[in-house]
Structure 1
């Protein structure tokens, strides 16, 4: 893999053509930045900026500092020094205190962060109360509390070898310097779900903002610099339109681990770039999840779930169930219910409390979504409703497609827009087969009798699953995928352990201790 490919991989957003607000616009010399980079404890303006757009209007929202390769190298060097020489990796009490300070700063600045998240990614008030802000803030508190009870050692007891007793134990140590690269769609969730467990584990971090949504991530760095005792170099935050910045994070030998959230094609390239130095890699990637409606389900409940979850954040979510599998005998009935629910979706100004669906992140992403819908129709799918661009801003109407072949592009590829593909199945085995007919395995849902639904859910190869509308998403629940939806788990104790190494110790038990124990 050449350096140019590695660079492009490291800076892509959640979709292959997602970048359009930041990365697609040239940097501007001399224009003041609205936020600052955080490098080695200092808030820095590079003197070069690039714009971030408001996706609801298409207007420039503000300007982010445009980091260069030297800035990325300085951030990695600062993180390396902090890990190797500061007390951060070994002082659990310091980490607890700093995480609690960070959590309080996030609470105190909730209104500012919420407005910025609405303006930069189109998050509605309902989403701010959930996965766009309040739930991510809770992740920081979760890991601060977890550290108070989590054991960093594991006793393995004694074994006899060579006529002597040997005592063994395991100590859990920080993995080292972490490069964290995030997508644009849920910037607070993605940043905090990486920062909090990495910091709790004792790692130092270089966090790279998505080019389409840099300002909110930079704001998190400013809170850390201004309101916590986190030592210089432990957290570094970068933004940049130059893809060369990302290459440093995936290839620099001083980086021990890369954690990335984004598209599967990009994840493959990041994994390849990190392989030269055998970095640990955590990948939270794409999905093409299926919701199955059984013939004994409450069809209205299933239709409401399928319609409104698909248009959550304009469909810009990797775990959304973008395939709806329905029994052939009830196909038309369920389609009509979903269509009716789509008609109730209010889209528009994300500042309006009555708005359910905001815009797509960029014109480029909207064009990609529209092109996939048009190709699906040309391939034989039926457009039941939607398929329209709306403005100002980058809105796309909730779109329902039927007569979708399970092997068609629209049924196999991640759209990252408010597009639901309906696929008819013959029986339970056929439904499971279609659901598993994907390179992805991130999530899924099923509606029907509890016992039957659970038995089918266990046959589907995904990392998370909702039964009859159950919500699995919370700070204590591991989240991640099977197959090409990723490697590893975020959140929960599993999320902390992604950022740990385990060192096994053994010592000879003195003879006196053996006799005393006897």
Structure 2
């Protein structure tokens, strides 16, 4: 993956962020004229007033996408590929600008923001290559009476709904395969972080995607308008990343018109530290698994099950490392941990820690909310009881919650004791770690490493963590329908 060496300061030349809707190839205000504030969680200041999309705006976006669908689907795979590659090239040139937008609207540290910006652009490069490799089949039937041709066609107008925690990467991870497949798209970003999504959409406009192929809307109220969009006969696909609770509601909304749904939902990732695990490697990679994006990731390590033989040493080393974490605005590149996306999110995280302490746990390090800004210290909590709220709730913050265990079978049972199954981590001697990994109910498992995300790898979960896969060769298939054609032998 391409990386950018962090500069010492952000660029002083700052363009005003785009804060409008994008419909039928043009940026415009909402038809009702309303706006909502986009707030910098580091200081509470308003960055921009973003246009509210009315019901009429959203249906106009659907109609525009429907009108463009036939011509876009008819473009050659090479043409779609070249446009996506051009978007990748522009984002490569402007990666610092995208990172700065995310620092301001999301509160990320510079390291997390530049990391996401580089990760986000890779989806355009990856699916530029996948666009020209859409598979099909041609074979003789077993009876010999016909040739079986299996073709794949674009599924059609696709509604893409993205969360606030990775506002650029979640947008490109959906936009790129849908566009590569020949689908027109309507992107609905989270209200907390629409500016990064708008920047990405404008890159697509600038490189030449035709009017109607890409739209961006921010409806208020969200639920009823999204449901109406899903009921439109032209909309044939929903790709959603967000909470399991909202995912369930959207699946109900898809049912009436049998809209195909891909869902990347909540997680509750366990970390199983086996006896004999390499302490330094485990701590180093656990920090990545826990602290990436300040813990606000569906793949973030949520519950640490640490064997008694290594528990005390693990806690001591983690405490040392967390004590060195610098907290503050991402505008200062030396800070390791930025703000949470809002004061409400910060208070939710603080409440989970306070609840764990009331339940008998001990705060070894951190546990403090800042008075100014939505900051929460890197925190380590031990003596956590499995089944308590902090182990059953997706923390989405910089809190390491440690449960001591003695028996590996019990650790596996506790790790699987959840309705979620997105991500899991195992640390230990490789052969034993692989054996444990195969027993874990998770769509993805990392062994002796803290990060697994890669555009070339299938991303998704089991149980109530989602439906379908994003990235890899599987990602484009979510936006294609199989068509069987029978030919005379």
Smaller-chain TM-score range?
over 0.9
User: Which residue of the partner structure matches residue 10 of structure 2?
Assistant: none
Contact 2:55 2:219 in 1 (8 A): no
User: Which residue of the partner structure matches residue 8 of structure 2?
Assistant: none
- 2:385 is aligned, of 402, 405, 421, to 405
Say yes or no: does 1:269 pair with 2:249: yes
Note closer, same or farther for the CA distance 1:251–1:372 as it changes in structure 2 (3 Å cut). Answer: farther
Cα distance in structure 1, aligned partners of 2:277 and 2:170: 34
Cα distance in structure 2, aligned partners of 1:87 and 1:254: 14
User: Which residue of the partner structure matches residue 418 of structure 1?
Assistant: 398
Q: Secondary structure, in 3 states, of the residue corresponding to 1:338?
A: helix
Contact 1:218 1:237 in 2 (8 A): yes
Residues 195-214 of structure 1: pairs in structure 2 closer than 5 A: 195-214=175-194
Say yes or no: does 1:485 pair with 2:471: no
Task: Output the TM-score relative to the length of structure 2.
Answer: 0.92
- 1:230 is aligned, of 189, 204, 209, to 209
Cα distance in structure 1, aligned partners of 2:151 and 2:84: 22
Query: Cα offset for 1:362?
Result: 0.4
User: Which residue of the partner structure matches residue 136 of structure 1?
Assistant: 120
Residue by residue over 1:214-266, the C-alpha shift from the partner in whole angstroms, topping out at 9 and shown as x without a partner, is 111112222222x1221211111112443243333333332111111111111
Q: Secondary structure, in 3 states, of the residue corresponding to 2:390?
A: helix
User: Which residue of the partner structure matches residue 13 of structure 2?
Assistant: none
Cα distance in structure 2, aligned partners of 1:309 and 1:357: 14
Contact 1:294 1:448 in 2 (8 A): yes
Say yes or no: does 1:77 pair with 2:63: yes
Contact 2:72 2:213 in 1 (8 A): no
Query: Cα offset for 1:287?
Result: 0.8
User: Which residue of the partner structure matches residue 138 of structure 2?
Assistant: 155
Q: Secondary structure, in 3 states, of the residue corresponding to 1:256?
A: strand
- 1:179 is aligned, of 137, 159, 177, to 159
Query: Is 361-370 or 97-106 further displaced after alignment?
Result: 97-106
Query: Is 466-475 or 272-281 further displaced after alignment?
Result: 466-475
List alignment gaps of at least 5 residues for structure 1.
1-31, 510-518
Say yes or no: does 1:48 pair with 2:34: yes
User: Which residue of the partner structure matches residue 425 of structure 2?
Assistant: 445
Q: Secondary structure, in 3 states, of the residue corresponding to 1:147?
A: helix
Contact 2:469 2:478 in 1 (8 A): yes
Contact 1:67 1:239 in 2 (8 A): yes
Structure with max Cα Rg: 1
Note closer, same or farther for the CA distance 1:326–1:89 as it changes in structure 2 (3 Å cut). Answer: farther
Contact 1:181 1:209 in 2 (8 A): yes
Residues 1-20 of structure 1: pairs in structure 2 closer than 5 A: none
Residues 312-323 of structure 1: pairs in structure 2 closer than 5 A: 312-323=292-303
Say yes or no: does 1:91 pair with 2:57: no
Query: Cα offset for 1:283?
Result: 0.6
Q: Secondary structure, in 3 states, of the residue corresponding to 1:133?
A: helix
Say yes or no: does 1:344 pair with 2:324: yes
Contact 1:315 1:418 in 2 (8 A): yes
Task: Output the TM-score relative to the length of structure 1.
Answer: 0.87
Say yes or no: does 1:434 pair with 2:414: yes
Query: Cα offset for 1:92?
Result: 1.5
- 1:169 is aligned, of 149, 164, 187, to 149
Q: RMSD of the TM alignment (CA)? A: 1.8
Note closer, same or farther for the CA distance 1:504–1:141 as it changes in structure 2 (3 Å cut). Answer: same
Contact 1:403 1:423 in 2 (8 A): yes
- 2:366 is aligned, of 382, 386, 396, to 386
Query: Cα offset for 1:485?
Result: 0.9
Query: Cα offset for 1:470?
Result: 6.1
Q: Secondary structure, in 3 states, of the residue corresponding to 1:233?
A: coil
Matched length: 471
User: Which residue of the partner structure matches residue 44 of structure 2?
Assistant: 58
Contact 2:96 2:114 in 1 (8 A): no
Contact 1:41 1:236 in 2 (8 A): yes
Query: Is 94-103 or 350-359 further displaced after alignment?
Result: 94-103
